[in-house]
């Protein structure tokens, strides 16, 4: 029987049987034969490295706000007739950057939500508190090196060695017994390791698009020689040595040997009806979609993914650069969402964005400088889409900054976050299956905030 994705159950079971033979280690398995997990869920993080300029990603269209925006942004302001209209039932009319017609359509179909002005916070912070000596603030705001770490660790006031994605899956495994029937990677970053995926229990496995864990040494002629070399390796890494550390090291290579054909089969198994754009981020999301397509066969219950796109540090030449990058994001997310629909998993896969920080509203030459709070997107059928969550900063408050002190942290229009990353992540984590107590452990600052659920997921 062949599934719609092209991998037959039988061939998978045969594969499993042969792996069992090859690996032979006590208790080792990719998946217990037929223990399919019925409620698979995946969280997919798209990180925009460099700090995306949220001010030009979502723009208010209501005339007073738009005029204030133009006044603040001057040459960087996007023309009103080019912005792609979206509406929030409460906060009114907005426009997405003209690079993102696909996301506009998804927003209109209620598949996409905007989460306004999210950022790293230790606790709710007003402008006065921000400027009060000794008030607890995230370490090293506006520093790329520190903020990309904090966004992934979810810890604003200390360093950390694990990421909130990894910790969330840790909880799902340790407390709720997910993934107990699989040894397939459950925290996967594309192209490079990501702190986000590192857990105390789960291990970040990084995959490169198109790299199926082939060993160069197995590309040997004649085929019989390659087979002999591979067979010897399989035997070596599956034989108990009498030393647990050696066995554990061998176990990792055994994982790679078993993963290799699975990734190969995943690569060829699915033909996505809506082709992925052949961009870097498109390739990453295509690979994620292929791995997701294997979830049932592999009895994976909960999985987190991390993909990324760099170049958002637009200190200069922002107009072209941000258009170029946002259209890549929009097209890739659109293809990815379609793929989840095709796989029948669009209600079980939620995709969200992160970035180092937002940027200044006031331009600097042809670009903008490092900021703090930022707008983000969440995508999927579980998302209560078509809404903007959180108070969208008023451009008029920037115009009156000296008087109002609302929404902004300084005179250059750096957004003072109204929602913390901890709340944003906890909302995603609750949908994933974590309870309040779990979420407070995953996000140590979460108890400092009144609401632990921003409401954008059903």
Partner 1 sequence: MRADGHRRLTLALLLVVAAAAAPAGAQTVRVSPTAMNVLLGSDRRLTATVDGAANTAVMWAVNGIPGGNASVGTIDATGLYTAPRSAVAGSRVGVHAVSFANPAASATCVVTLVNPMPSVTRINPNPVPLGRFTLQVTGSNFVPGAQLLWNANPLPTVFQSATLLTATGVATLTLPAAIAVANPGPGATSVPYVLSVVAAAPTRTGPIATATAIRVGTQTPTRRPESTRTLTSTATSSPLRTATSTRAATETMTRIPATATATRIATNTQRPPSTETPRPAATATASAPPTLTATATRQATETATRLASTATPTTVMATATNSARPPSTATPRPTATATASAPPTLAATMMPSPMRTATATMMMSATARTEASRTVMPTTTGSPARTRTATPSAAPSVAVHVAPAAANLQPGASQQFQATVTGTANQAVVWQVNATPGGDSSVGTITNAGLYTAPASAPSMGFVTVSAVSAANGAARGSAMVAIQDPLAVTYGRFLDQATFGPTQALTAHVAQIGIPAFIDEQFAMPESPWPALDTAQRSDAVDAFFANALAGQDQLRQRVIYALSEIIVEAMNKNTNGDEIVPWLQLLSRNAFGNYRTLLKEITLDASMGKYLDLANSGLSGGAPNENFPREVMQLFSIGLYQLNLDGSVQVDAHNVPIATYTQADVQQMAKALTGWTYGNSSGTPPSYGNFNYYPGPMLPVAAYHNTSAKTILGHPLPANQSIQQDLDGAIDIIFQHPNVGPFLATRLIRALVTSNPSPAYIARVATAFNGNGTRGDMQAVIRAILLDPEARNDAPPANFGRLRTPMQHTIALARALGLDLGPADQFAYLFYDMNEGLLDAASVFGHYSPSYHIPMTPLFGPEFQIYAASDAVDRANLFYGFMYSPWPINPVLQPFVNVAADPAALVNAVDQALLYGRMLPATRAALLTALPAMPDDNARALTALYLTSMSGEYLVEH
Residues 358-387 touching partner 1, rule: CB under 8 A, are 364-367
* CA–CA separation, 289 and 36 (whole Å): 19
Residue whose CB is less far from partner 1, 25 or 341? 25
Residue whose CB is less far from partner 1, 113 or 120? 120
Decide if residue 324 touches partner 1 (CB under 8 A): no
Decide if residue 437 touches partner 1 (CB under 8 A): no
Q: At what angle do helices 101-108 and 318-342 cross, to 10 degrees?
A: 50
Closest approach of partner 1 to the CB of residue 46, in Å: 19
Closest approach of partner 1 to the CB of residue 238, in Å: 9
**Which residues fall within 8 angstroms of residue 296, CB to CB, at 6 or more apart?**
36, 37, 40
Bridge pairing between strands 302-309 and 187-190: parallel
Among 310, 411, 447, 455, binds partner 1 (CB under 8 A): 310
Decide if residue 404 touches partner 1 (CB under 8 A): no
Decide if residue 26 touches partner 1 (CB under 8 A): no
Closest approach of partner 1 to the CB of residue 75, in Å: 14
Among 198, 356, 407, 438, binds partner 1 (CB under 8 A): 198
Instruction: Choose the binding region for partner 1 from 40-48, 248-256, 343-351, 444-452 (rule: CB under 8 A).
Output: 248-256
> Using CB under 8 A, which residues numbered 162 to 181 contact partner 1?
162
Decide if residue 146 touches partner 1 (CB under 8 A): yes
Among 52, 182, 255, 322, binds partner 1 (CB under 8 A): 255
Decide if residue 29 touches partner 1 (CB under 8 A): no
b/e for 329-356, b at 16 or more Cβ within 10 A? bbbbbbbbbbbbbbbebbebbbbbbbbb
Residue whose CB is less far from partner 1, 95 or 413? 413
Residue whose CB is less far from partner 1, 166 or 386? 166
Sheet holding 58-60, edge to edge: 58-60, 92-96, 84-88
Decide if residue 423 touches partner 1 (CB under 8 A): no
Among 26, 34, 221, 403, binds partner 1 (CB under 8 A): 221
SS3 assignment, position 327? helix
**Which residues fall within 8 angstroms of residue 120, CB to CB, at 6 or more apart?**
138, 141, 147, 150, 151, 156, 357, 372, 417, 420, 421
Burial (CB count <10 Å: 0-12, 13-18, 19+), residue 180: middle
Cβ atoms within 10 Å, residue 378? 25
Decide if residue 2 touches partner 1 (CB under 8 A): no
> Using CB under 8 A, which residues numbered 79 to 118 contact partner 1?
none
Among 4, 14, 214, 451, binds partner 1 (CB under 8 A): 214
Instruction: Choose the binding region for partner 1 from 7-15, 100-108, 191-199, 351-359 (rule: CB under 8 A).
Output: 191-199
How remote is the C-alpha of 379 from its chain's centroid? 11
**Which residues fall within 8 angstroms of residue 425, CB to CB, at 6 or more apart?**
154, 164, 168, 442, 443
Q: Give the CA dihedral 257, 33, 182, 282, nearest 10 degrees.
A: 70
Question: Which of 356, 370, 283, 368 is closest to 322 using CA atoms?
Answer: 368
Decide if residue 233 touches partner 1 (CB under 8 A): yes
**Which residues fall within 8 angstroms of residue 107, CB to CB, at 6 or more apart?**
86, 96, 113, 114, 385, 386
SS3 assignment, position 264? helix
Residue whose CB is less far from partner 1, 248 or 403? 248
> Using CB under 8 A, which residues numbered 48 to 67 contact partner 1?
50
Instruction: Choose the binding region for partner 1 from 87-95, 157-165, 339-347, 420-428 (rule: CB under 8 A).
Output: 157-165
């Amino acid at each position: 029987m062949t599934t719609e994705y092209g991998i037959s159950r039988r061939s998978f079971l045969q594969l499993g049987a042969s792996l069992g033979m090859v690996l032979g280690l006590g208790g080792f398995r990719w998946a217990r034969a037929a223990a399919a997990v019925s409620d698979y869920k995946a969280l997919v993080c798209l990180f925009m490295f460099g700090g995306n300029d949220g001010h030009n990603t979502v723009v208010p269209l209501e005339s007073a706000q738009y005029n204030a925006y133009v006044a603040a942004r001057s040459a960087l302001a996007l023309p009103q007739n080019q912005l792609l209209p979206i509406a929030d039932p409460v906060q009114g009319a907005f426009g997405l950057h003209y690079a993102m017609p696909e996301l506009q359509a998804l927003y209109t179909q209620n598949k996409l939500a905007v989460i306004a002005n999210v950022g790293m916070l230790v606790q709710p912070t007003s402008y006065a508190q921000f400027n009060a000596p000794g008030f607890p603030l995230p370490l090293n705001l506006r520093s790329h090196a520190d903020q990309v770490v904090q966004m992934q660790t979810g810890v604003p006031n200390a360093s950390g060695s694990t990421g909130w994605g990894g910790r969330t899956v840790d909880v799902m495994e340790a407390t709720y017994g997910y993934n107990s029937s699989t040894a397939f990677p459950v925290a996967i970053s594309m192209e490079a390791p990501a702190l986000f995926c590192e857990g105390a229990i789960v291990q970040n496995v990084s995959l490169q698009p198109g790299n199926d864990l082939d060993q160069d040494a197995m590309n040997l002629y004649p085929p019989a020689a390659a087979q002999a070399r591979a067979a010897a390796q399989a035997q070596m890494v599956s034989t108990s040595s009498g030393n647990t550390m050696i066995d554990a090291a061998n176990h990792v290579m055994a994982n790679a040997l078993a993963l290799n054909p699975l990734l190969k089969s995943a690569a060829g198994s699915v033909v996505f009806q809506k082709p992925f754009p052949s961009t870097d981020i498109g390739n990453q999301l295509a690979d994620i979609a292929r791995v997701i397509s294997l979830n049932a066969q592999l009895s994976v219950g909960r999985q987190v993914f991390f993909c990324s796109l760099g170049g958002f540090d637009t200190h200069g030449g922002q107009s072209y650069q941000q258009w170029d990058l946002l259209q890549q994001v929009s097209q890739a997310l659109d293809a990815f969402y379609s793929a989840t629909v095709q796989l029948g998993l669009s209600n079980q896969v939620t995709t969200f964005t992160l970035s180092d920080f937002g940027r200044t509203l006031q331009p600097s030459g042809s670009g903008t400088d490092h900021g703090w709070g930022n707008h983000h997107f969440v995508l999927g059928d579980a998302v209560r889409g078509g809404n903007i969550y959180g108070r969208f900063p008023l451009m008029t408050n920037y115009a009156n900054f000296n008087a109002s002190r609302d929404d902004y942290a300084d005179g250059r229009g750096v957004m003072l976050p109204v929602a913390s990353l901890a709340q944003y992540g906890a909302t995603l984590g609750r949908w994933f299956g974590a309870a309040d107590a779990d979420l407070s452990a995953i996000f140590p600052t979460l108890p400092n905030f009144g609401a632990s659920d921003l409401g954008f997921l059903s």
